[in-house]
Structure 1
Amino acid sequence: MFLKISIFVKFVTTNTILYLKPNHKYKNSYFFLSLIFAIFLLMGAVSCSTTKYVGDNEYLLSKVSVKVDDKNISSSELNQNIKQQPNIKILGIWKFHLGLYNLSGKNKKKGINKWLSRIGEEPVIYEDYQTQRSKVQLGIYLRKKGYYNATIEDTVVFRRKKAKLRFKITSGEPYRFGSIFNEKAALPRNFISPYQNIKEISDSSLIRQYLVAASVNSKIKTGQNVDSDILGKERDRISKLMKNKGYFNFSKEYIHFMMDSVGKDHQMDVFVGIKKPQSSNVERKYRIRSIIVNSDYDPKPMLLNDSVYLSKLDTLNLGNCQFIYTEKLNIKPDVIINSLGFQPGSLYNLSEVEYSYRRLQALNQYKFVNIRFEVDTEAENELEGSLNCFIQLSPHKRQAYTVELEGTNSSGNIGFAGKVNYQHKNLLRGAEILDIRLSNATETVKSNDNRNFFSKEYGGEISLNTPKFLFPFLTANRFRKKYNPKSRLSLAYSYQKRPDYTRTQADASFGYNWRSSRYLTHTLNLIELSFVEVKNLSQDFIDDINNLYIANSFTDHVISTTRYSLVFNNQNLNKLSNYNYLRFSFETAGNTLNTFDKLLGSKKNMDYNDNGELEGTYYDLLGIRYAQYIKADIDYRYNWHLNKANTFVGRLFMGLGYAYGNLKVLPFEKSYFSGGANGIRAWQVRSLGPGSYSNDEAVYPNNTADFKLEGNLEYRFKLVWKFEGAMFIDAGNIWAISSKDDRPGAKFDMKNFYKEVAVGTGVGARVDLNFILFRLDLGLKLRDPSLAGDKRWIIGNRPFSFSQLTYNIGIGYPF
């Protein structure tokens, strides 16, 4: 697939040049804009005959709009209630999919006509019946949101076989929640009838008392619009509250609301009612009597009551916990017990059951987890009932071997890698997961003279993940129970060979990860220790980094860091919707080692420059100088889902690293760079900045710095089959903050840094095969900070040539 994409790119580029060269001399950069404009005209021509398959007395629904006079009403939710929507548009104007359908012939059952009609979109014909249905649905929605007096008018404009539909909504004053009553005794006279009163649970019942005590958490607030969705959330809250108090048989069907607006100005008083249950079991609390865990559950023979399967089962009793297994209990019982939020003797609690589901699934031992409860009628009494808990666990295979061939995208450089993975999911019978990975990767990197060279990397990693919170002299039971942290130990080694240098790196790390909520993930690496050796520097590379400050980042060094990162991601993988992604990371390096060296009175080493002059002193670890710095960065992304074919994605990144003490320069692998397939795509990777600095003579681009600011905006749209298109604009740069960095124009200046912001734009194509996405981006510089101040905007200042376009081939979306 990658080879096919490469051939396609070459074909398009070659044919475009052959077609244009005889007729154009590219006198100015407006040619590129003219070319883009011509392409859009051509694309528009494909879909200009949008009414080709619109019959007589029919009209193509070309536009639907909703105008509402209350900004508090969600326009997107209103649109979801409209039964007919126009054909999908790309770029807001281009009905590409309808155009494909219209390219087909009348016989839709044969050849290319069948294919075009299948991948295209049939014209949406206006129907008055659907308009009336939409009006009814909009009215229902508005009443659900408290707008009982809203009026809806529809207007249709017919012109040239096209119909434009507009809904005008006059919302009127909404009804709001007034007083909220949780007890019958607090109700005003005649709020409910004597018959209704008899049907309600009494104020003296524990259920009603729990409701009153927890009313501070009510979803219904005085002054809010009357909203059926809020009432639904309140029912869910009360139902869960009661189940958490031990009422196993309670359900939200017992909860209802009575509202009264008589004599009130657009207000409704609310009584939170709970129907008196016919069965006494609903008002009875239940306690867990026993727990039965089937750790080798196989649903098929169990349901068929297979005697052979049942004969292999054995049991182990630990108090009121029973474990059922075949042949051998492969996981220690305490691992299961510690993953449960409840124990024998505890009251039934729905939140603890949900917690237990999450903990058991997080062990990564089971492909199926089910927890169910059965009432034990023999053990219950007048006050409390009894439950037997049955936990069914279907285990994964304990060991797995995989061989992978994959595309790689490292710092914007495309390549391929082969990996051999071995995984043991239960190494010590405590749900410990052992991973052993061996890899061999080759990447193609472009030099500044447009020659490609290969970077080869060999490596291996061994890691051990355990569900236990391993921390010396600290059990942290409350933290462990609430957040379920996992501990991870890893060792890794990599060998990288490039034409300009060879680098080896040995790493060891130990840390934790946990979730504090549905969307928040934390990672804390207490120690990350890296030994980096750089050798075989080519003369060209040495000449490129003649700046001593930069050269120090390519010397042998040790990095000892403590790193914390926080990730917020509210993406719903099961539903296309808007979502936010935020990653914050902070790390500090060398401070612990430096403190020990000072306390122990370790001897310092002398640091001399190339002229034999004393530059300073430093400590070492095992004879290698260690780095000392702090670093923080933040990465925010917003995905705006317009419809099934159109998406906007925005990204903002800011990062800062400050080196001091033992090594007053950020190590190369910790420095920031820009450009490439995942950055500002109009520049090749590591070729932009810092600031207005330019080193065009460098054979191998390796521009790095201490501070990075970057913003990206990308519009993505679906085309046909697995193909997608994109348009983007990128802006940003990197800057140096150290006074020792004397590269001209590299230093960050608060008053003038905005003048050194690079801007690039471009278009892209993607092939989404579900398991992998191939990407081609074509970038064009709009503003180049390396040029003189009055020449930085490219448009109108530089003749255009195709050599100014930057191709980026990547794996996966850029962000």
Structure 2
Amino acid sequence: MVFSACQTLKNVPEGDFLLDRVEVRAEDRPSDIAKDELARYVHQQPNGQIFFMRFHLWLYNLGKKGKETGVSGWLHRIGEPPVIYSPALTEQSVANLQIYLKGRGFYSAEVVDTAYTRRHGRMTVRYTVRFGPPTLVDSVALRIPDSLAHSYVERQWAYSQLKPGMRLDNQTLEAERSRVEGSLRNAGFYNFSADAIGFVADTLGRGHQATLTLCIPPPNATEFSDRVLRRYVIDSINIYPKAASNRSTSAVDSTWHVRTLGRVRYLYPSTPGIRLPVVARMLRLQPDSVLRLSDVNRTQSNLLTLSLYRQAQFEFREQQFAGWRSPADSLNRLYPITCNVLLHRMPVQNYQAGLMLTTSGAIGAEGSLTYTHRNLFYGAELFELRGQASVEALRKRQGLYFKTAMELGLRATLTFPQFLFVYGLNHFAQRYMPSTRLQVSWNYQRRPDYNRTLFTGGLTYAWNTGQGSSYSLTPVEVNVVKIFRIDPAFYERISRSYLAYSYISQLVSITGLNYGYQQQSSGNRLSTSTLRASVEASGNTLWAFSKLLKRKRRDGAYTVFDLPFSQFVRADLNYANKVRIDKSNAVVFRIFMGVGYPYANSEALPIEKQYYEGGANGVRAWQARDLGPGSYRDTEFAYPNQTGDIKLEANLEYRFSLFWKLEGALFVDAGNIWAISRRDLRKGAIFHFSSFYKQVAMGYGVGVRMNLGFFVLRVDSGFRLYDPYVAPNSGRTRGQFLFAERRFTTDDFVLHFGVGYPF
């Protein structure tokens, strides 16, 4: 191609070479050193690629050579200039790799570079790494003259990463420095830092063996303050619940009020602005206790969970005192220190108006107005009142005909920074940041096929256990669903099917548990994993009481306030993993599994608890609610409205940066929904383990996104690859691959507009 052969070298000077490829070959590479890790130390890397194409170099070359104004200047700014092969930088890369390998314990490692041209004007550089034998530690010793610090390090030595037989590896040494620093700071040595730790490795005349000594202070330290090895006890705690951002504790005057609560002093100018016991519950620090870093961090996290505060600032001031000894330990010298906590408040009340696109199923718009009060009862209670209105354009299956769906809603939530109605959990509150949310809402929906209202009230407990895990427990949630209008043609259609049981007025009482987990792994390729799981049950308590009281059924179901109540169990699992390959490329994978099962008092899941497939956040080659269930396709409903009891979905998306704020994506989606009940007469809708894989729809597509930082605008075009639909009397037992088994039509292409990433 003329583009690849000539245009790529357009801005490469005569006699120079474009750096086309860098290879790192490692011989005898240990399992804990990845090849990607070695590549980080190569100073010169080729121009970045997007799907095997040097897109940003191509943009740069589109501009006129030497012109930095107008369109050419813009192309040069958003593009990437060619990387010119440099022998000097190659030599520097060799030196970098050798330094790195010595730091990992391979002192006799060799790095050899080879540069050669495989194509005209392009240079490939190969780095061959020979690790050789590692240097191993045969003994470990401590050199800590301070007897107090020595005793605490020795107590925790069982957790040390320094063991005889280990490789003399800088990463292990750095991990040990961090461990010792954390151990001592959690033992009261608050001023201690990892900089106060050094290592001496004696390899003289020992071949590939070394004697390792951990030293505090480091052997080459020229200045070392004795404050680093002081162990502190909290002498007093002062809390400033109304601290001003431009004032310090020294600005407090005699007009301020002082109140003591549980040996902790609270200082404020007129009123504290919050009930002081609420702040007291958040404190892990106490007077006369050892100053531990973990207690400081936990106290700060707890205070910031109070919606009233934007910052919790800690000041520590040593007292002019030579130190005192604990009666229990003659070496346990403790130095008194004062802890001042300055709490900077957020605005107590505010209003927020919003207008945004919606993509829950079809393209639409939503307007909202939210009122927030962060201290409703002077206990950092967060009150939100939100009103919203939205409209969606629902497209008919045939042609470009649209009809609108409208939704109005009002929601009030009140969140308390503690567990309500649960007592004796003060220690739990300090560790896990619990909260209680009360919520009531009213919602009106007008869709082409029906109108309904939904009233909801519920109680939810939430808490975080740290390390990325969070939980929420909903012991009670009550939903009252009232359907006021059903389109006659729609009702005639569903009255002959299993779907009729979903479109009824009913009461839905729910008990549920949700779990969330997020983890980020550092390294050359940043990976972010997110897991969300939920399980909920409905109607069991009401059913048990109805049986116990021997209440009469109406139309085969027990009722409460003349409304039948639903009874089902439902569980969802959603896992997503994002791997950033480099600054311009990332791969995201997601899998979703969900199942709901109605029983006893219910013949079908309520509408809002059923699953649907397709749309901007599902299998994007289908409209929302237009796929499934199974191999079934509805041809009678004017608007897509297909739902099911089981949902399986997998998505793979390759994301890449284009220029400015624009990003691109290539994606593959697969999934479908299915029904459980044998009473569902839709042909091919029932889930069967032996054949469900034949009904998994597949699609692919391309997308463009505009990342504005605070939100992302998205356009995705989806194309069908495998359609699971089996027409009646066709004689087929599975769906069809497009192009190979049937022709492509306009219905096999869908364009989606979205806000935010799909997952």
TM-score, with structure 1 as normaliser: 0.86
Moved more, 455-464 or 381-390: 381-390
How far residue 559 of structure 1 moved from its aligned partner, in angstroms, is 1.3
Corresponding residue for 2:674?
735
Please tell me the residue identity of whatever aligns with 1:545: I
Q: 1:396 aligns with which of 319, 339, 346?
A: 346
Change in CA separation of 1:45 and 1:542 when aligned onto 2, cut-off 3 Å: farther
Please tell me the residue identity of whatever aligns with 1:254: A
Change in CA separation of 1:437 and 1:224 when aligned onto 2, cut-off 3 Å: farther
Moved more, 352-361 or 67-76: 67-76
Superimposed CA distance per residue, residues 134-193 of structure 1 (whole angstroms, 9 cap, x where no aligned partner): 1111122222222222211111113422111111112223334444445xxxxxxxxxxx
How far residue 751 of structure 1 moved from its aligned partner, in angstroms, is 1.3
Corresponding residue for 2:330?
none
1:294/1:323 contact within 8 Å kept: yes
How far residue 45 of structure 1 moved from its aligned partner, in angstroms, is 3.8
Change in CA separation of 1:523 and 1:395 when aligned onto 2, cut-off 3 Å: same
Corresponding residue for 2:429?
480
Corresponding residue for 1:589?
538
Please tell me the residue identity of whatever aligns with 2:88: Y
Corresponding residue for 1:325?
268
Q: Distance in 2 between matches of 1:174 and 1:580?
A: 34
2:397/2:640 contact within 8 Å kept: yes
How far residue 265 of structure 1 moved from its aligned partner, in angstroms, is 7.6
Corresponding residue for 1:191?
none
Superimposed CA distance per residue, residues 208-230 of structure 1 (whole angstroms, 9 cap, x where no aligned partner): 33323322322335554432122
Superimposed CA distance per residue, residues 297-350 of structure 1 (whole angstroms, 9 cap, x where no aligned partner): 2243549x88xx958644334464332223321012222222111111111111
Structure 1: gaps (5+ residues)? 1-40, 183-196, 608-616
Change in CA separation of 1:391 and 1:575 when aligned onto 2, cut-off 3 Å: farther
Corresponding residue for 2:551?
603
Superimposed CA distance per residue, residues 453-489 of structure 1 (whole angstroms, 9 cap, x where no aligned partner): 21111001111111112134x3223322221211111
Percentage of pairs with the same residue: 36
More strand by share: 2
Corresponding residue for 2:47?
87
Corresponding residue for 1:38?
none
Q: 2:695 aligns with which of 752, 756, 759?
A: 756
Alignment of 1:17-416 (within 5 A): 45=3, 49-69=7-27, 70=29, 72=31, 73-91=33-51, 93-158=52-117, 159-181=119-141, 200-201=144-145, 205-221=147-163, 223-260=165-202, 266-275=208-217, 281-302=227-248, 313-318=256-261, 320-378=263-321, 380-381=323-324, 383-410=333-360, 412-416=361-365
Corresponding residue for 1:674?
613
Please tell me the residue identity of whatever aligns with 2:371: Y
SS in 2 for 1:295: strand
2:517/2:530 contact within 8 Å kept: yes
Please tell me the residue identity of whatever aligns with 2:307: N
Corresponding residue for 1:458?
408
Corresponding residue for 2:629?
690
How far residue 368 of structure 1 moved from its aligned partner, in angstroms, is 2.4
Q: Distance in 1 between matches of 2:322 and 2:416?
A: 39
Corresponding residue for 2:328?
none
Q: Distance in 2 between matches of 1:358 and 1:312?
A: 30
SS in 2 for 1:570: strand
2:631/2:734 contact within 8 Å kept: no
Change in CA separation of 1:713 and 1:547 when aligned onto 2, cut-off 3 Å: farther
Alignment of 1:699-710 (within 5 A): 699-710=638-649
Please tell me the residue identity of whatever aligns with 1:671: Q
SS in 2 for 1:605: coil
The runs of at least 4 aligned residues of structure 1 exceeding 6 Å deviation read 262-265, 276-279, 572-576
2:525/2:581 contact within 8 Å kept: no
Change in CA separation of 1:726 and 1:87 when aligned onto 2, cut-off 3 Å: same
How far residue 745 of structure 1 moved from its aligned partner, in angstroms, is 0.8
Q: Does 1:794 align with 2:742?
A: no
Corresponding residue for 1:27?
none
SS in 2 for 1:506: strand
Q: Distance in 2 between matches of 1:177 and 1:544?
A: 78
Corresponding residue for 1:717?
656
1:691/1:735 contact within 8 Å kept: yes
Q: Distance in 2 between matches of 1:137 and 1:418?
A: 56
SS in 1 for 2:499: helix
Change in CA separation of 1:353 and 1:136 when aligned onto 2, cut-off 3 Å: same
Aligned length: 739
Change in CA separation of 1:265 and 1:329 when aligned onto 2, cut-off 3 Å: same
Q: Distance in 2 between matches of 1:602 and 1:506?
A: 28
How far residue 283 of structure 1 moved from its aligned partner, in angstroms, is 4.8
SS in 1 for 2:363: strand
Q: Does 1:565 align with 2:514?
A: yes
Q: Distance in 1 between matches of 2:181 and 2:370?
A: 47
Corresponding residue for 1:422?
371
1:289/1:320 contact within 8 Å kept: no
Change in CA separation of 1:526 and 1:264 when aligned onto 2, cut-off 3 Å: farther
Please tell me the residue identity of whatever aligns with 1:56: E
Q: Distance in 2 between matches of 1:790 and 1:503?
A: 37
Q: Distance in 2 between matches of 1:770 and 1:216?
A: 46
Corresponding residue for 1:545?
494
How far residue 375 of structure 1 moved from its aligned partner, in angstroms, is 0.7
How far residue 680 of structure 1 moved from its aligned partner, in angstroms, is 0.6
How far residue 131 of structure 1 moved from its aligned partner, in angstroms, is 1.0
How far residue 750 of structure 1 moved from its aligned partner, in angstroms, is 0.9
1:602/1:619 contact within 8 Å kept: no
Please tell me the residue identity of whatever aligns with 2:298: Y
Please tell me the residue identity of whatever aligns with 1:634: L
Change in CA separation of 1:790 and 1:553 when aligned onto 2, cut-off 3 Å: closer
Q: Does 1:814 align with 2:758?
A: yes
Q: Distance in 2 between matches of 1:484 and 1:379?
A: 38
Moved more, 494-503 or 479-488: 479-488
Moved more, 679-688 or 717-726: 717-726
Change in CA separation of 1:154 and 1:80 when aligned onto 2, cut-off 3 Å: same
Q: Distance in 2 between matches of 1:542 and 1:659?
A: 21
Please tell me the residue identity of whatever aligns with 1:814: P
Superimposed CA distance per residue, residues 230-289 of structure 1 (whole angstroms, 9 cap, x where no aligned partner): 211211211221222222343333333333557878454544333499766555432111
Change in CA separation of 1:324 and 1:683 when aligned onto 2, cut-off 3 Å: same
How far residue 294 of structure 1 moved from its aligned partner, in angstroms, is 2.2
Please tell me the residue identity of whatever aligns with 2:8: T
How far residue 572 of structure 1 moved from its aligned partner, in angstroms, is 8.1
Q: Distance in 2 between matches of 1:447 and 1:379?
A: 83
Corresponding residue for 2:482?
533
1:445/1:454 contact within 8 Å kept: yes
TM-score, with structure 2 as normaliser: 0.92
Corresponding residue for 1:784?
723
Q: Distance in 1 between matches of 2:225 and 2:582?
A: 48
Change in CA separation of 1:656 and 1:178 when aligned onto 2, cut-off 3 Å: farther
1:46/1:99 contact within 8 Å kept: no
Moved more, 137-146 or 659-668: 137-146
How far residue 60 of structure 1 moved from its aligned partner, in angstroms, is 1.1
1:377/1:385 contact within 8 Å kept: no
Q: Distance in 1 between matches of 2:205 and 2:515?
A: 53
Q: Distance in 1 between matches of 2:403 and 2:209?
A: 73
Q: Distance in 2 between matches of 1:62 and 1:574?
A: 25
Moved more, 495-504 or 45-54: 45-54
1:500/1:541 contact within 8 Å kept: yes
1:149/1:171 contact within 8 Å kept: yes
Q: Distance in 1 between matches of 2:226 and 2:712?
A: 58
Q: Distance in 2 between matches of 1:575 and 1:493?
A: 49
Structure 2: gaps (5+ residues)? 326-332, 727-731
2:611/2:644 contact within 8 Å kept: yes
Change in CA separation of 1:168 and 1:547 when aligned onto 2, cut-off 3 Å: farther
Higher relative contact order (CA 8 A, sep 6+): 1
Q: 2:596 aligns with which of 650, 657, 665?
A: 657
Q: Distance in 1 between matches of 2:682 and 2:734?
A: 21
Change in CA separation of 1:341 and 1:501 when aligned onto 2, cut-off 3 Å: same
